[in-house]
Every structure is written in structure tokens, then in C-alpha cells.
Structure 1
């Protein structure tokens, strides 16, 4: 079953192409109570009066629409320079955030310097008049536990950061100065041109970016969206009549103007204080009275519609996409047309999986894996896009004509019979429930989303734009559907075997485009008549009971066990008193007033009486993946209905079957019981079983087609999965498996298991007890009994207990090379309980050390290898765990150097970093330490996040649930000498376990791997595992 799609996102989804047409540069890191609405208005009025007393800015009269459950204060002001700034005061915020955005992007690139907007985004952050150091912003943020990012899309550019509130003033000052007075130093030009080039080279392994370029080459060539949007060394250079540096400065001077810029400042401080801060920082950006260029050219001409685009993906995708360009959607911050949600309505019906629908019928016939639709209305400034995206099975790949006919048949059914008030009311209800009980996030995604909405929506709707919905407009929906014809469609055929006659510029993406012939259209119209669909049924699981079962007096710090005797008493099921059950629950600490819960159920396997053979272990791994996939097919309709109703399910294996659910509690346990029962009883057909096998092979192939740096990381991520089997071995084993094997294995998941459950949120002990009673009754043999015979299996773990230096190499198939290196302190193996406790304490200390070390050296690594040496775009340091041991990792993807050369740069950096660490003063060290502690102490932003902090302990059988507090204590106790000693001993010393994972790219003729006798070359991960110590957890 894996994980069902969350429908509230699904019905609001943007198309694959639209979602991936922005470029971002990651600079730092990989990685509620109801209030009375009248009280909110009154508090906003008071705040408005207070801040309007200062005449250097104007308080906008627009009231920001927000959920009654959102107790944050929002106030929009306009500075004297014309910039609109949204101030958000959140007393619960532990960190502050800032955003600046402008409505200029790649659509505005000059033809002779394509990618200039993206290049300028890079250059702006490379030092300013007041803060000239190129890496000064990122280093300042890191010291205060922060990070930042920037991105360039077709129609806008965004800059944003997060930081501990104590650093907010200077962070805003730094960002404002970068925008108001960037150095745009020519000495940084080649560095950033190379960075942009490396970023776009990296994008060659992302199908969304590749398809975006193909799209650019198949639309109206006179529309600015047809240009190369990202930039590279060829497009960004001096040319006759166009000097890059002078054009860059001209572009900045023309477009970086405060009058149409927007900003967001998010902080626990009151809006009165934030207004002054906005004026002191953003207020000094110059107003140049700039205007957004008007695009008059249509995005597509007649000859650009009614076409088939054959595209060869880098991933083993099998997809069909039907897109319609929407010429009547323009960016207009005064328009309220978005409130009608017409595209959302159509998307909702297309993706609906109820009996007889398009989605359910195509899935039941084994033609598709999934179907969803969505719109992006603003991406091209004067036109939007509506896209229907279909993941095909092998059978469906051979039946694309039938599927296309089915889609147009269904669109016609919606047009003639499906534009109904009842469906609109259901969509409205889903959106309203989400509005009444929002997930209140406090991160960079949230504030950058606010800024984005400020550029395209009326200011009063920047918070509720996704959920606000007006009245049913049948004529508008009909008009949109009437435009969804074959003649207006651009149909993408996506698979590895597509015919192609062209290669997309720089992305190296094979494709071709041809007009849909009259014969093809006639064939589809004939095939349309063979399909008969039903419109969706209304969803019976939408919540209408939002009762809260706890109050603040019942909050506890961590999950507490519900004893078997209490479960038996509450459920009136005496058998539970002696059952192998471990149940833990707690009301939410952070979301006590939300009618939601997060529940995790695991059927823990006992320790095996006899070890399985390697072949049996491998078969079981494959069979679980197959059974989980097939359960997803069997449970599709119910899972979809749950998703619409705000309930998400996922299933996976962790020393036993794990089923998790989160959402509104009214129907949560009822749906979880239904899904679990069906999981335990589904019987696949031979066709479905073969479909599952093809799916599994596709997953194996997909794992080989990821980005180069992800390929380099794979051995490090999989070495601690015990046992690990190579992909080729699993391919061979897959062929021998039968339906009987699968059913026998699936049945074994529910036999003789220990039942363990963790509940966080709005579920009472009685509700949990009754659920367990029903679950016990549903199993043929019931839950296993307690006793000496049952000892739960918590898996086996790798122990890195001897100093070694391991090298794994692989030749890649794309231009870029990659190198990943991880260094671990060794650990002594012991089974003694006291020593085991000492080991856990040591592991926590090492986790704390590596996380703090990473905060310190990450910007150094980025500045040295990316900014100075220009080795690549994707490069990171990261705290890394192998098994339960923590070390430090270094990672880079490069389009100019081979792995052996990259290791030379790594080693040089290690020496330099050691020297800088030795010179680090205690005051600076304390800043980094405080920043990390601020991150660790940050309250959970969602109920799921709150529950997740306890799940690692839950799965390991550590029922004191103290991993987080132990880590925080370990960070508090760290000294500068601890961090310096760890780096010197683990990275530079000899008493360590080190792994190099090297991937050679094709840019150079000959692979160059590290040639050093100190490194022992190992063929693959399974071979490495066979040489390591393994112990039972």
C-alpha cells in the first residue's frame, strides 16, 4: 500500500512540468488554539492604529483572511518606497523568517543572455556594500541556527531565510543590503557562471527539468517562455553587442525595484516592532518605478496544439500526459477569479477513484497505476496550464489510444452530466474543513508561499488562497471543459522507447513532436464509444464530528503505556489481558485542540527459532514489496476516500508489518480497521501479480537512474540494511516467485505477532482498546499470547568495530561524477547490558557532535569547494548514521572533475577545516551550539512531526521515549575540544571506519578512481556486509 496521496494536495496539484520549472540554489543545508474571529479583527485594528502612527509607511486597510484556528497576527503595510510587506506576529514561533520576492523571472531574460535572471539571483548573494564577504550571509545564519535559499521561476524570483529570533535584525539587514546594494563583483562572475552551469547540468537527471526544456522548444518561439530558462556557460557570456557584466548591471538596475517587490517578516515579536524593522531594512531599497513587462504573444499557436510529443525520460517512466494551455489566465492581483476553483473541481472528478469512475475503471483493467490532474494558472504570466497526468502499466503503455479515448469520453461525461452543485459542495466542504483545522507551519516553505501569493493574489487572500472558494459557476466550468478538446491538446507520450528526432538543448533530452493526424483523431473518437463510465459517488467519510477528547490539564510529556489489564477492562475483552500487546498513547502537546490523531500499528515478528537461509530472506524482502503494492491496488477506492476525508495511510516493513494513519479521528479507526482487514485478505489475479512484478523491476531500474550524487550515496545508505541483496540478485529471484508464495507470505505477516501500537493525539484509551479488541477478533488465531516463548525481533545491526578504509566504485552513465565519503568512530562490540547502555550514551554523544560539527563546517565546505574551487553545484556535509553509529559525511557532484581528483580536494579541505576548528574561539562555538539547540528545541509544526519524534524509540523497543531529550542534553554538554577532537580523530586519524563511494561520469574519456593502497576496494555492498560484525538488537 505504501502511502496514499493526500487528496487535499491532489485536487490542488500543479502539473509535473509547472511544478518543476523553477530553479533554486540551496546555500546551507540538505535537509493551535481556536480564537474568536471578532477578537482577531479587534486585535488587528489595535495593531493597525499603533503602527500607522509612524508616517514612513502605510497600514493597508485590507483584513487578511485566516482560519479561526490561526492565532497569528497578520498585518500588511506599504513602505514609503512602495514595497508591500506582510508582518506576521506569532507568539509560538521559536524561529524567525524573512522573505523578499519580485515579479521578475526567466520570462524577462534578454534573448542574448538567456538565464540572466537566474544568474543575477546567484550574484546578488555574493556580497553587498555593507557586507562584502561572499559567504558572509550563510556563515552568519549558520551561527544562529539558520539557513537560506533562493529560487528563480518563470515569473518571479524569491530570496528567503530562517534564523533564531536574536539574529533577525541583522539577517534582514543583510538580505536588504544584498537587494539594495549588491556588489555584482565581476571577480565572482566566472564562479557563479560555473555554478549556474553546474546546476543546469545537475538538472539533466531530473525529468521535470528536461521536460520543461522540451516544452520550451515546442511552444510559440516568440513567447519568452520558449527561451532557455536556466542559463549556462554558453548563454551567459560576452557576445558581439552584449557584454554579460554590463547587461547584468542593466538588468538589475531596471528590474530590482521596490515598487513591485513584496516581503514577509515572521517573528514572535509584535507587528508594531516588525513594521519598524521592515522600514529600517526593506525600506532602503530604491524605488525605480519599474513595471512588469507585458507579454502579448500567445503561449501556443494553432500549430503548437493538437500535437503528440514523444519524450525519452532519464528515469524508466511510462506516462501519458494530456495538457491544455489556458490563454485566459493572467496574473492579476485584483482578480477574484481564483475563488471559483473551476480547475480544482475538474481535477477532483478526474482523480476520483470511486466505483465506475475513469480512475477506478482504468486501474481495474490493469492499464494505469494512477491518474491525477491539476492546474498552474500563472507560470507564463499571460497563460496557464491544465494537465492530466497518467502513470501507465506495461499493458497501458501498449494501449495508449484506448486510454486517451477514455479520458476524452470521461471529460465529455463531466461536461454533459457532471457539473453538479453536489460535487461542488463536496469540494467546498473538503477545502472548508482544511481551512477550519489547518496545519499551521512556521517554516521557509510557508513564508515563501505567502510571498508568492502576494505577487499573484489580492492581499486579503494571501493566507487562504488555496482554501477560499466562492459560489458554484456552472457556466465557467462548462467553458473550461469545452476547451479541453483533442484539437487543443498537447499530448505527451513518455517512455524509454519513444521515437525521437531531436535533442533538447543542453538537457540532452531526446524528443519529437508531430501533429495529431486526422486518422488518429478518428480512431480515438471510435474508441471513445467503447467506454462506459459512472460519475463519482459522494464521499461517506468526510468528517462532521470534531469533538476534542482532551484538555490542557491532561497533557503529558511522552507516550505512556496502557497496561493489558486496562485494555481488557475498557474493551470487555479478557483475552487482551494475556495477549502479546504493547500499547502507548498520549494526547498531543502542541495540538491539543485539533480533532486529529497519528497512530502507528506494528505486528512485531518473534525472534526466529532458526535462521532463514539468505535465499528465503531475499524472497521475503521481495514478497513484502509485492504484497504492499498489490494491497494498494485492492484498497485503492477506500484509500482514496480516506484521503479525501483528510486521513492518510502508509504501510511498510520494520521487523514486521507497520500500518500508520493520521487525520481526523471521527472515522480514523474505522477506516484503519477496514484497510487492515482487506490487506490481510486480498487475492490478486495473475494479471495483477505480473503487473506487480513489472512494477518491482521498474523500482530497481529507477534506483539506478537517480542523480549522480544520489547514486554515490546509495552504498552508504544501504550498508546498514541487514541483510542487503544486490539489485541483480533480486531481479533473478523475482522471476521464481508465485502467487502462492505471495499469499503465504502475506498471511504470515498476521500470524503469531506481537501487537504494538503508538497513538499521539485525539484518541481516548477506550477508543484504542475497542480498536484492539476488533483487531484481535479479526485475526484467525488472534494476537499472540504473552510468555517466555515470545521474544520480539528488533532486527540486526551492523557494528563498525575495527579501523578500516573501504572504497566502492561505479561507472556512471551521465556526464557528472560524484564522491561521497563517511567517517565513523569505531565501536566496541558487547552484549553486556551495562556496556550496552554505555554504547547508547556514546552514540548519543557522537550524534550531538556530528550535528554540531556539521553546522560549523558546512558553510566552509560550500565556500571552499563550490565558490572558490568551482567544483560543482550539489555539495554538502551531513551528519550520517550507519546502523546506530554516527559520523560525518562529505558529498559532491561535479561536472568537471573525476572522483580521484575530488578526493584530493576533500583531503585539502580536511586539513584546512582542522586548522579553522583549532582557531575557533569559544564565543563563536557557543553561537553555533545555541543555534543547534534552538533547532532541536523547536516545537513540532505538525501532529505527524510530533509523533515521529517518538517512533524511532518505538521501533527499537526503547519505551522510555527519551532519545530527543538525551540528544539535547548531549549537545548542551559538548565543548569546543570535543568537536575538534572528534574531527581530528575521526576524519584525519587512523582509528576510524571510513567509506568512499566513487561514481565516475562520462564527461571525461577515462574513469579516474582513487588509487591508494590504504583504501581496500570492495566489489559491492553485500560483499562489504559479509565482512562486517552484525549483532542482534
Structure 2
């Protein structure tokens, strides 16, 4: 399938009816046309006058499930070979090179049942790139699907696996016996309708990948819809699916390092130790009977489902965010929607807390505070997320941040709920223990990260202010108790400045009212939770300035002795955040990216993971090469990067004005 400014002319194609054949969102201004090639391959053409790129995706209904016995990985291997060379385009990497030189990118993926190839490119170069990707259609399909339930277990949960499985099937039985409720279907329909008709416009390459995947599964009318809209209320079908969720159809995967030494088989490729045994229906029924007596309930009506999709009447068409409000407690940046015209909004609240990262212990305590907040909000926020209103809490450079995004109608309700959790935060010892255990395992798993991930972490550790080694944070975490966190959080919040950005379908007075509410929660009363920052506490995040012409080398042993890979992060600090310089660096990265990939991965075969990207650390931009290799050490890899940089410099100087305008017309 293809998207671009104009419908692409495809040879030997049979045009199909353009009117009313494909169901599309009410707010979608794009035009769609289905054609069928002589080889019966179906193609969807999309005309989008607003896009700055063309894109195409071809989905083949063959994935790793179709690998022949003894040829595991064949589908994934063939995925890579298509971009490498072909009979029509035999030159090594000529396809990828052409795409990159004309402002585009290529990618592909292999899943269990599909292989998907896709690219985007400047409009005037689309036809040749599409010709390179052309292939026939295979009609292999899989006629089954899976319904998965995943449960992350604590150490205590590991000891109660049978109880957990028993409770799961007890809840399934509750659903089966309660029948299919019309009101639940109506709620899901309302949510699905809203999400489909007011969906955000995504970049062309992501859009064509989504649709091409749908084209192998759904009838033409529902290529854009996929599974997002329920057709009609049919309780018999739903009940039939519910009844399929039975002990006779279940496969249970129980993973834990507690099984070390207790398994009798080894998977040949990754040498994973495992065992399997048959579990009878009678056994699971016994687990159901012996499970704890807890009150299982059905969901309640969802208060977050939006019903008001009206668009605000924006008086001032602001091109950039404006500083709408400033007080000693907060600052509000505001940008009304003047482009997308969707009943949605985005709110970002950055809580600047100077005490958040003053030591490894403070960093861990701040992190634990945020993890517990998310834990406390899980059940409540689930309803919001189901209704198309998402939120997130995370650690930021200067404290912690909250974002809310989605339909604006009920967004204020969720904001107030989160702020009340922050204001009335208390440490529940049982939940603290669970979160501490989860965080401990996350820290311990750092040692098993791939070498390139570890190298990136060390790069940040060396350059950025107030960052600490994971080993020190793990040590601090091991000594923390619930009482430590209870004492710390009031200190963390005692001095705070709130930086706010509100954009979308929100009027000025609504944005100001939200920030005023946040101020009232934190700063009002005779004993406020927070007080304004002292002037000296208004510090920005900092990175170490690398002197011009200076070279620094930081070497660290990999923490996983069983991983034979080495990795290099070659970081070049360039400039502070500035519009013109940002554009130049982006262009340089675009020019250098394909050459880097081709030379270091394809020609020299240093490693599978080979990339060049821009890096932003505390407002300072840089360029970083990331290479992971099992055949060469970091020293050799670094010498090859240096050689590549010299070649790049020579090539860039040789680019004429005419060639530059052809390759990068915009």
C-alpha cells in the first residue's frame, strides 16, 4: 500500500470503485482508492495533499511460524536479504542508499505470521523506490489466534502461582456466568467510535505499515478500521469466545530464576533451560477451589468516556507556545490547537524539586515515590486509559513530571485525581515492599543489558550532572525502608516550582484554571505542602563541556561475563539547543546515516547493531555512533569510526550545489 501527495500510477492495474468502498474516520481528509494488479495483488493508494513524504508498505502473510523445520529464522533472514540486493538491483545496499540519499528511511519486521517491508522518501523519488520493493503476494495464512494474560510475579507471588491461576479461572467463570452485558458493549462501542473518528494523524510510514497489516486480515471496507470498531451487539459470539477460555485450551508459561537446577531440557538457540508437564483440567479445577476467597467483581460504569467532542473557538491563532501565566509558584506555556482540530489536549506538568537527585539515596527515594504513585493510581487510571485518556508519571531531569493526553472532555477529572494522590501521599508498607522488590530486580537486571545499552548509560553517567552508578543506587535501595520514604517525600515536595505546558482543544481560561488548581493543592493553606524555590535553586540540568579538540576515552568491563559482545558509543558534543544549528545537525545526520550503516555493518561487518543518531543531553546536542560487535573490540571499532568520519568529511565537501538541491529539495 502507498501514500503520497498524488495517486501513484501503477502499470497493469485494474481500478476499483472509489466511492464508499472503504470506511474512514469522519475527520480524515485523505482520499483512498483500491486497485488490483494482474497478479491479483491488492493495492491501496492514498492521496494526502498535506504530507511531506511518500511511503509504501508491503505485507506478506508469512512469518516465523512458517519457518521450515531445521531452518529456524529463515523468514527473518529473507527479510534482510530483500534490502541487501536483488536480481534487478544487484548492487550491494543500492536500495537503502537510494532511499537515504533522497530523504527517506527503510525498515522491515518479521513477526510470527507476517513479514512487513516499508519505506518513506521524498515525493519526487517515490516511483523508483516503489519499483525496487515490488514483489508478488503469497497466500499463506494462520487460522488461529491467542488470548494472553500476563502476570508479573513478586517472590511471594511465585510461591502462589496455583492460587493466581485459580483466581484467573474463577474470574473467567464469573464472566461466563454473568452473560454479555449490553451496557459494557455500548461503552466499548462509544470509546471505539471516538478513538477511530478522532484519531491523531501519524507519519506516513507508520500509517502504511498499520494498514498493510490489516489488508491481509480484513475485508476491503475495514482496511482502515481493522479491529477498532465493533460491528454489532452479538452476545452469542462473545459468549462463544468466553467459553473457549477454558482449562482444556490453556498453555501456562511460568518463568523464574528460582527454577535453576530443576529443569531437564535446553532450548538449542539461546540455551534456555526449561521443562514442561501436562496439567489436567481436574488439576486446574482444584486450583480454582483452593484459591483465596476474594471478592471478584465486574467493572463499573466508566466516568471518563467523553461525550463532548466540540472544538473550542480559538481567538488568537498562536503559532508557537506563549507564556500565559507566571507566578512565584509556576509558569504556564500555552498552545491552542490551530492545525489538527481534534477534541484532544496535552498537559505536561514538570515538578522541579531541587532535592530529587542530590545523592544516590535521594535518586532512589524519588524513583520509589513515583513508582508508588503509579501503583496507587493503576486501578483508577485504567478506566481513563480505556476511554482514550492516557497519563504518565516519571522521573525528569529536575524532579518528576506528569503528562496527560487524550480527549479533553474529562481530562480535568484525571488531573485532579492525580494531584490528590500526590498531596495525600502515604506509604503503604505492603505496596512499598512490592515496589522495592520490583525495583531491586530492575536494577539487578542492568548487568544483563546488552553492552551497547550499558555503554549509553555510562556515557550519560560521565557527562550529566546528578547521575549516579546503578550499583550505588542498588546499594542505597537495599537499605531503604517504608519509614525512610515517608520521611523523604515531604522534604522532596517542600520546595517546588511547577513548569506547565498545555496544548490542544483547551481555552486560555481552562488552562489557567488547571494550573491554579495545582497551585492551590501544593501551595495554599497555613501549612502548605510546598513553598516557592529560593532564587539560587532555579538551576537547569547541566552536562560536562568537552573541550574543542580534546579526546576522552572511558573504558568499562561488561557486567555480563556470558555476553561475548563489545560495544562502543562514540559521542561528539556539538552545540547548545539552537534552531539553525539543530537543522544543520539534522541534515548532517541524514547525510551520514546510510554511509555509516553501509560501511560499518554491511561492508566491514562489525556488528548487527550499528547506528548513527543525534543525541540531546540537558539542552546540548551531539552526534553518537553506536556499534556492538562480537568480532572486534572497542579500540578497533573506534579507529573505524574515525576513518569513517574522515571519509564523510571528504564526501560532504565534494557535494555540489546542484546535487545538494536534488537530494534534499526541501
TM-score by length of 1: 0.59
1:64–1:460 contact (8 Å) kept in structure 2:
yes
Report the counterpart of residue 289 of structure 2 in structure 1.
526
Q: 1:459 to 1:657 in 2, by over 3 A?
A: same
Write out aligned runs for 1:32-111 (5 A): 56-60=13-17, 63-111=21-69
SS at match of 1:888: strand
Structure 1 CA distance for aligned equivalents of residues 608 and 351 of structure 2 = 44
1:604–1:656 contact (8 Å) kept in structure 2:
yes
Report the counterpart of residue 557 of structure 2 in structure 1.
810
SS at match of 2:552: strand
Report the counterpart of residue 320 of structure 2 in structure 1.
558
One of 272, 279, 292 as aligned partner of 2:139: 292
Write out aligned runs for 1:747-762 (5 A): 747-762=490-505
2:13–2:36 contact (8 Å) kept in structure 1:
no
How far is 1:929 from its partner? 4.9
How far is 1:128 from its partner? 4.0
Q: 1:83 to 1:742 in 2, by over 3 A?
A: same
Q: 1:656 to 1:906 in 2, by over 3 A?
A: closer
How far is 1:527 from its partner? 1.5
How far is 1:874 from its partner? 1.5
- Per-residue Cα deviation, 1:572-621 (whole angstroms, up to 9, x for no partner): xxxxxx64332121202322x21111111233346x8xxx9x9x522221
How far is 1:765 from its partner? 1.9
Q: 1:505 to 1:659 in 2, by over 3 A?
A: same
One of 390, 395, 410 as aligned partner of 1:667: 410
How far is 1:482 from its partner? 2.0
Report the counterpart of residue 622 of structure 1 in structure 2.
364
Report the counterpart of residue 335 of structure 2 in structure 1.
586
2:324–2:333 contact (8 Å) kept in structure 1:
yes
Report the counterpart of residue 19 of structure 1 in structure 2.
none
Structure 2 CA distance for aligned equivalents of residues 109 and 788 of structure 1 = 64
One of 535, 546, 553 as aligned partner of 1:800: 546
Report the counterpart of residue 205 of structure 2 in structure 1.
444
How far is 1:818 from its partner? 2.8
1:680–1:747 contact (8 Å) kept in structure 2:
no
Structure 1 CA distance for aligned equivalents of residues 250 and 533 of structure 2 = 65
Structure 2 CA distance for aligned equivalents of residues 55 and 526 of structure 1 = 64
1:712–1:818 contact (8 Å) kept in structure 2:
no
1:605–1:793 contact (8 Å) kept in structure 2:
no
Q: 1:914 to 1:388 in 2, by over 3 A?
A: same
- Per-residue Cα deviation, 1:486-526 (whole angstroms, up to 9, x for no partner): 23211010112223222212122221111126884354032
Q: 1:721 to 1:114 in 2, by over 3 A?
A: same
SS at match of 2:152: strand
How far is 1:926 from its partner? 4.2
Report the counterpart of residue 639 of structure 1 in structure 2.
381
One of 566, 591, 597 as aligned partner of 2:345: 597
Structure 1 CA distance for aligned equivalents of residues 328 and 470 of structure 2 = 39
Q: 1:647 to 1:520 in 2, by over 3 A?
A: same
Structure 2 CA distance for aligned equivalents of residues 442 and 766 of structure 1 = 32
TM-score by length of 2: 0.90
- Per-residue Cα deviation, 1:154-176 (whole angstroms, up to 9, x for no partner): 43332211011121122212323
Report the counterpart of residue 360 of structure 1 in structure 2.
none
SS at match of 2:659: helix
Structure 2 CA distance for aligned equivalents of residues 790 and 782 of structure 1 = 21
Q: 1:754 to 1:77 in 2, by over 3 A?
A: same
Structure 2 CA distance for aligned equivalents of residues 701 and 466 of structure 1 = 39
Alignment of 1:689 with 2:647, yes or no, is no
- Work out the number of aligned pairs and report it: 652
1:142–1:928 contact (8 Å) kept in structure 2:
no
Most deviating of 144-153 and 120-129: 120-129
One of 214, 218, 226 as aligned partner of 1:457: 218
Structure 2 CA distance for aligned equivalents of residues 680 and 916 of structure 1 = 58
Report the counterpart of residue 103 of structure 2 in structure 1.
145
- Per-residue Cα deviation, 1:753-798 (whole angstroms, up to 9, x for no partner): 2333211111222222333333333234459787985752323432
How far is 1:884 from its partner? 4.0
Report the counterpart of residue 400 of structure 1 in structure 2.
161
Q: 1:684 to 1:581 in 2, by over 3 A?
A: closer
Alignment of 1:491 with 2:252, yes or no, is yes
Report the counterpart of residue 504 of structure 1 in structure 2.
267
Q: 1:455 to 1:723 in 2, by over 3 A?
A: same
- Per-residue Cα deviation, 1:121-146 (whole angstroms, up to 9, x for no partner): 33333334554322222122112210
2:56–2:118 contact (8 Å) kept in structure 1:
yes
Structure 2 regions of 5+ residues with no counterpart? 1-5
2:493–2:530 contact (8 Å) kept in structure 1:
no
Q: 1:443 to 1:701 in 2, by over 3 A?
A: farther
Write out aligned runs for 1:22-41 (5 A): none
1:409–1:531 contact (8 Å) kept in structure 2:
no
How far is 1:563 from its partner? 3.8
Report the counterpart of residue 569 of structure 1 in structure 2.
none
2:346–2:504 contact (8 Å) kept in structure 1:
yes
2:461–2:469 contact (8 Å) kept in structure 1:
no
How far is 1:416 from its partner? 0.3
Q: 1:757 to 1:800 in 2, by over 3 A?
A: same
How far is 1:79 from its partner? 2.3
How far is 1:457 from its partner? 0.9
Structure 2 CA distance for aligned equivalents of residues 51 and 549 of structure 1 = 40
Q: 1:731 to 1:840 in 2, by over 3 A?
A: closer
Q: 1:596 to 1:671 in 2, by over 3 A?
A: same
Structure 1 CA distance for aligned equivalents of residues 490 and 337 of structure 2 = 34
One of 96, 111, 116 as aligned partner of 1:158: 116
How far is 1:450 from its partner? 0.9
Structure 2 CA distance for aligned equivalents of residues 483 and 784 of structure 1 = 54
- Per-residue Cα deviation, 1:834-880 (whole angstroms, up to 9, x for no partner): xxxxx747x66664444333222222222222222233221112223
Report the counterpart of residue 449 of structure 2 in structure 1.
706
- Per-residue Cα deviation, 1:691-721 (whole angstroms, up to 9, x for no partner): 2211221221232222332223221233333
SS at match of 2:555: strand
Structure 2 CA distance for aligned equivalents of residues 815 and 132 of structure 1 = 35
SS at match of 1:125: helix
- Per-residue Cα deviation, 1:662-687 (whole angstroms, up to 9, x for no partner): 11112112220121111221322222
Structure 1 CA distance for aligned equivalents of residues 286 and 102 of structure 2 = 63
Structure 2 CA distance for aligned equivalents of residues 706 and 145 of structure 1 = 33
Structure 1 CA distance for aligned equivalents of residues 72 and 399 of structure 2 = 53
Q: 1:172 to 1:650 in 2, by over 3 A?
A: same
SS at match of 2:84: coil
How far is 1:897 from its partner? 3.1
Structure 2 CA distance for aligned equivalents of residues 98 and 655 of structure 1 = 41
Structure 2 CA distance for aligned equivalents of residues 540 and 411 of structure 1 = 24
- Higher RCO by CA contacts (8 Å cutoff, separation 6 or greater): 1
Alignment of 1:515 with 2:278, yes or no, is yes
Compute the RMSD of aligned alpha carbons: 3.0
